[in-house]
A = this chain, B = another copy of it.
Amino acid sequence: MAGQHTLDETERQVQARLGDLKIDFEAMAVTSNLFRAANAVRNYLERTVLAEHDLSWTAFVVLWVVWIWEPVESRVIAEEGGFSKATLTGVMQTLEGRGLITRTRSSKDGRLVLVKLTAKGRKMMKQLFPEFNKGERLALADLKRSDLGSFADLLRAVTLTVDAQKTN
């Protein structure tokens, strides 16, 4: 991936199609590379670590959130994972069918559903997460260690900015 065309070529082509319209090429480069990177890492981890456990990316994220915060409400999982409630329902049905999680309606608030891992789910995560983390480390192996902190901060800032837009 990473594109066979250089950034300069791309800018020239865009400008040629838009005349002298002002375009923010730096913003374009950031978002474009943001998705390339996210896609690349996701596909890589899905094909390697997660495939061995027959898990999709989203299924893993759900398991991870529940593993850390159980018992946890559905809405929290969706929020932490960054996907919709509709998506979550489907994924949790799959995971429940495989005996990895349980769902129970809250007795305090009949609207809420509380999610926990089963013993099987916990056992899987205890083995899987270290493998997953090793994959994460490999995906970032060529970056300078000292850059990781500010890198994470920049990414966090993007999420915060967009979420602020959303509520307006």
Report A's interface with B, CB cutoff 8 A. 1-5, 10, 13-14, 17-18, 21, 23-24, 26-31, 33-44, 61, 67-69, 76, 79-80, 82-83, 122, 125-126, 129-130, 133, 136-143, 145, 147-149, 151-152, 154-166
Chain B residues with Cβ below 8 Å from A13 are 68-69
Query: Would A23 and B133 be within 8 Å (CB), given that A2-B156, A13-B68 are in contact?
Result: yes
Find out whether the CB atom of B133 lies under 8 angstroms from the CB atom of A162: no
Q: Considering the chains assembled together, what is the distance between the CA atoms of A19 and B47 in angstroms?
A: 28
Q: Considering the chains assembled together, what is the distance between the CA atoms of A41 and B152 in angstroms?
A: 16
Counting from the closest, the 10 A-B pairs by CB-CB distance are: A33-B155, A38-B38, A39-B82, A40-B162, A37-B158, A27-B136, A142-B161, A26-B148, A37-B155, A29-B152
With most chain B CB atoms within 10 A of its CB, the pick from A37, A39, A41, A68 is: A37
With most chain B CB atoms within 10 A of its CB, the pick from A17, A61, A83 is: A17
Chain B residues with Cβ below 8 Å from A156 are 2, 33, 36-37
